[in-house]
Structure 1
Amino acid sequence: MVSPQSAVLDFGCGSGRYILRLQGLVGRAAGFDVSPAALDTVRSRAMSAGWDDLAVLGPEAADLDRHVQERGPFDLVLCLFGVLGHITDPDARADALARMFRALKPGSGRLLISVPNRARRFRAEQAAGARDGLVHYRRRTEDGQDVVLHYQLFDPAKLAQELAAAGFTLRKLSCESVLPESWLLHNGLARWIDSMLTPVCPVRWGYGICAEATC
């Protein structure tokens, strides 16, 4: 999917989980995020790895737009690990997808995006009255504070609808994983089992839904 000539953007790059793995594999790379703390982490990790020309963009969306104007559009945009699900306002989510669309090369650019599957996630919260897949849940922070978080869940039809509204042409839907992501992060056997299950499972069974789309 990538080559030494590819230009790749990680939209919602967080601490660099995906973008930093592309060092030496692509011609140009950029990570965008709205979290200043995440951007500081990416910069530090890129510096430690000797990746001086990784573009770290944000927290303002205009930083990404300016980069595209100055350096040109991307061949591939990544929006993975449920980034879109954390944008719970529909207008803001539509704006984010439109910005990804504009960041891609017209006619040949590709988007690889994954979202949380409504059929597999937060079932108790949904049963308690979630509206259109928007759930609210509690997490305890490191300093012992309880915070309420919000998450937008998707089914294949909802993801396809929002991609189409942003101008994308959907090419493929698949499972991002079958086993929960927390298992995959810390268990090599779980990752191996998941690698066997994911290619053969229906999309509706996925813990996350992955889509490939073009502009």
Structure 2
Amino acid sequence: MTAITLGHLRDALHAGCASAVARVLDAYEVEVDFVDADADELPGMLDNGEIDLLVSAWLPRDAGFVQHGMRLIGLLYRPVYVWASTKPLGPIDTLTSEQVGRFITVSQDAPRLKAALATLPNLAGTPVETCDEEVLYERVSAAAEAGEALVAMIAQPHALFHTDMLHVLEDAQERLGGEMEARMMVRETVAACADSDMLDELSEMTLGNKVMSALDYTIQVEGVDPEDAAEAWQRGRLVPR
């Protein structure tokens, strides 16, 4: 096999992850063609055979990506949705609307936030802001600098967790769902003719949430190209190993 089409979601986090995986493919002299897409575009692209390797699906959240003809491999990191505040606060169950200035989340996660807040009557009426992923870091940074008690409903890893701006709040009931698994999906027809050692290496590859947050920060905040950020990780310059 000499070439693979590597697909990923269109954001800095997944671009960084895809570039890190591509470092393994490069070592086996496989040419990588990157393809990015929005979440609603991926199922059709997978169904049409436009993606050989997807990096990555968050299971069980992205169960809809798992299609006939695709094989799940590896466990790159363990994403999880959390409540995280710009000020140290108690468990989410104990908070009131007087303690929280507002909630914020990215637009695509607004339904998850709405459902969770419906179980927290003490927080009824607290303002909720939604925004694009590209401006979330900026909005949270501004709130932290202003001393505002902002609570973000956010998926970890994230660039924000490569800083000390946020404090994760306890939620014993896991209203936002439990820990997920970020796994790759490879097309069976591609796996059949791929180097078995390469597949084994991909299956054993681990990045972890800390590295992923660092990759996201380096790309999203510092403006580093995803492939350069992945090289920095591989050379041990991104975070201490």
TM-score scaled by structure 1? Answer: 0.38
Larger Rg: 2
